[in-house]
């Protein structure tokens, strides 16, 4: 496979703590329901999974936000729950509802039955290759997967949860089964992300969306080591011979930043509860940081959005250190963008990040 040269490598440079002319920005869930064109394509596809399973539709919606805003990265359009689906759990999304699995994993028998088959995720690999070609080197493409712990939450609960009662019951009463499930997910996720890298993903991100619901002890015993094993198994060089940064995002992970910085990840994603300056002091620029504007801030008037974005940039501070070396900051929201977000606010946000961050060089 031959690739056209990348025109905008600012995101990759920031993730690897290299010099950048401004702070790059992309938004979690940037392709999604706040965009009318996304809703139109989703209607054509019939359902969310219809969209995700078609490489053509997935390519179309991945590119939609880039046509509206000068974002510095694209993210594969898919979902973290494709992996349990490819273990035979039967994923569906009802209209206006969250995800649901037809089967759950709660005992030995159901754990044994859950066998990952990478061939069932051919549609994702094909989407990655198609999106990479369609981007034509405009910006890099981020691939992603859910962390083993976060996937385990959905597999045990069978859907989203308010209290994680089922998955925590299993974790506390049958830690051996929990570990068995995490082991399977570690293997599956390594295969899955390496297939995305081989197909052309230029960075990969592990979403540990529910790591933050665990106790300190349980996070360090179950969630973090599983993510670390995934990271250790990932390719570092992509299909084009370039370095592929590895990103670890733990929602609610501010308490464990120092431990997360030791996992081998190149960049840590942060939710909005953590101050970036404090995060930087704790990690000493050993990793780049990604985040972390509160997505709900986008409902305030434009002047507030601008002021809050500037606060995030200023809290990270000048990326270049006194000794000439660089820290890395990639601007993002602290979690996915809300479907109710006014589009003009996103345009104002991206412009503010690009303009203000130039004054920090």
Binding site per annotation, positions for substrate? 29-33, 79, 154, 209, 335
CB of 162 to ligand CP3, least distance (A): 13
Total residues at the site for ligand CP3 (CB under 6 A)?
22
164 has catalytic annotation = no
106 has catalytic annotation = no
Which of 9, 60, 72, 79 touches ligand CP3 (CB under 6 A)? 79
Contacts of 154 (CB under 8 A, 6+ apart): 81, 84, 99, 101, 146, 160
Residue of minimal Cβ distance to ligand CP3: 209
Of the ranges 15-23, 93-101, 195-203, 323-331, which one interacts with ligand CP3 (CB under 6 A)?
Answer: 93-101
Tell me the per-residue interface mask from 37 to 66 with ligand CP3, x by CB under 6 A, - otherwise: -----x-----x------------------
CA-based torsion, 320, 16, 242, 53: positive or negative: negative
358 has catalytic annotation = no
Of the ranges 3-11, 78-86, 235-243, 278-286, which one interacts with ligand CP3 (CB under 6 A)?
Answer: 78-86
Q: Determine, following the binding rule CB under 6 A, whether residue 94 of this chain makes contact with ligand CP3.
A: no
By beta-carbon proximity to ligand CP3, the closer residue of 52 and 319 is: 52
DSSP 25: B
Query: How far is the C-alpha of 109 from the C-alpha of 114, rounded, in Å?
Result: 9
Q: Give ∠ CA 184-190-194 in degrees, rounded to 5.
A: 150
Of the ranges 23-31, 108-116, 222-230, 264-272, which one interacts with ligand CP3 (CB under 6 A)?
Answer: 23-31
154 has catalytic annotation = yes
Which of 24, 55, 84, 99 touches ligand CP3 (CB under 6 A)? 99
Tell me the per-residue interface mask from 101 to 140 with ligand CP3, x by CB under 6 A, - otherwise: ----------------------------------------
CB of 47 to ligand CP3, least distance (A): 8
79 has catalytic annotation = yes
Nearest residue to 268 (alpha-carbon basis) of 209, 353, 329: 329
State the Rg of the chain over Cα.
19
Nearest residue to 191 (alpha-carbon basis) of 164, 160, 230: 230
By beta-carbon proximity to ligand CP3, the closer residue of 306 and 345 is: 345
Contacts of 66 (CB under 8 A, 6+ apart): 74, 135, 138, 139
Nearest residue to 123 (alpha-carbon basis) of 54, 192, 44: 54
By beta-carbon proximity to ligand CP3, the closer residue of 111 and 153 is: 153
SS3 215: coil
> Quick one: tokens of 203?
């960075």
Tell me the per-residue interface mask from 180 to 219 with ligand CP3, x by CB under 6 A, - otherwise: ---------------------------x-x----------
| C-alpha dist (Å) from residue 34 to 30, 42, 173 | 9, 12, 41
Q: Exposed e or buried b for every residue in 1-29, given b needs 16+ CB within 10 A?
A: eebeebebbbbbbbbbbeebebbbbbbbb
Strands (E), the chain: 74-75, 91-93, 99-101, 141-146, 203-208, 246-250, 267-269, 288-293, 329-333
| C-alpha dist (Å) from residue 21 to 7, 219, 309 | 14, 37, 18
Tell me the per-residue interface mask from 223 to 262 with ligand CP3, x by CB under 6 A, - otherwise: ----------------------------x-----------
Q: Determine, following the binding rule CB under 6 A, whether residue 11 of this chain makes contact with ligand CP3.
A: no
Query: How far is the C-alpha of 315 from the C-alpha of 81, rounded, in Å?
Result: 34
State the residues that interact with ligand CP3 by CB under 6 A.
28-33, 42, 48, 75, 77, 79-81, 93, 98-99, 144, 160, 207, 209, 251, 336
Residues that are catalytic: 29, 33, 42, 79, 154
């Amino acid at each position: 496979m031959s690739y056209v040269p990348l025109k905008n490598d600012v995101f990759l440079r920031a993730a690897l703590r290299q010099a950048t002319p401004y702070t790059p920005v992309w938004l979690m869930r940037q392709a999604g329901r706040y965009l009318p064109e996304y809703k139109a394509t989703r209607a054509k596809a019939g359902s969310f999974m219809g969209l995700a399973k078609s490489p053509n539709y997935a390519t179309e919606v991945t590119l939609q936000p880039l046509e509206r805003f000068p974002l510095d990265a694209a993210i594969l359009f898919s979902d973290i729950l494709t992996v349990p689906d490819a273990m035979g759990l039967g994923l569906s999304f009802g209209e206006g509802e969250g995800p649901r699995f037809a089967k759950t994993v709660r005992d030995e028998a159901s754990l044994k039955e859950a066998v990952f088959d990478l061939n069932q995720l051919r549609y994702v690999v094909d989407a990655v290759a198609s999106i990479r070609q369609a981007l034509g080197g405009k910006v890099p493409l981020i691939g992603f997967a859910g962390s083993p712990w976060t996937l385990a939450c959905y597999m045990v609960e069978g859907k989203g949860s308010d209290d994680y009662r089922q998955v925590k019951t299993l974790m506390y009463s049958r830690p051996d089964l929990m570990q068995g499930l995490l082991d399977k997910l570690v293997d599956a996720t390594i295969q899955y992300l390496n297939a995305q890298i081989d197909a052309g993903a230029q960075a990969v991100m592990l979403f540990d969306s529910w790591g933050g619901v665990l106790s300190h002890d349980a996070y360090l015993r179950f969630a973090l080591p599983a993510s670390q094993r995934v990271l250790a198994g990932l390719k570092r060089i992509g299909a084009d011979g370039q370095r592929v940064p590895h990103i670890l995002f733990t929602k609610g992970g501010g308490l464990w930043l120092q431990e997360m910085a030791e996992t081998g990840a190149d960049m840590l994603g942060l939710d909005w509860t953590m101050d970036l300056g404090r995060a930087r002091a704790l990690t000493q620029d050993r990793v780049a940081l990604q985040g972390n504007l509160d997505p709900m801030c986008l409902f305030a008037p434009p002047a507030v959005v601008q002021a809050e974005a500037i606060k995030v940039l200023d809290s990270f501070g000048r990326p270049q250190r006194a000794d000439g070396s660089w820290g890395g900051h990639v601007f993002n929201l602290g979690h996915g963008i809300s479907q109710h977000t006014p589009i003009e606010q996103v345009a104002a946000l991206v412009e503010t990040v690009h303009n203000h961050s130039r004054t920090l060089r």
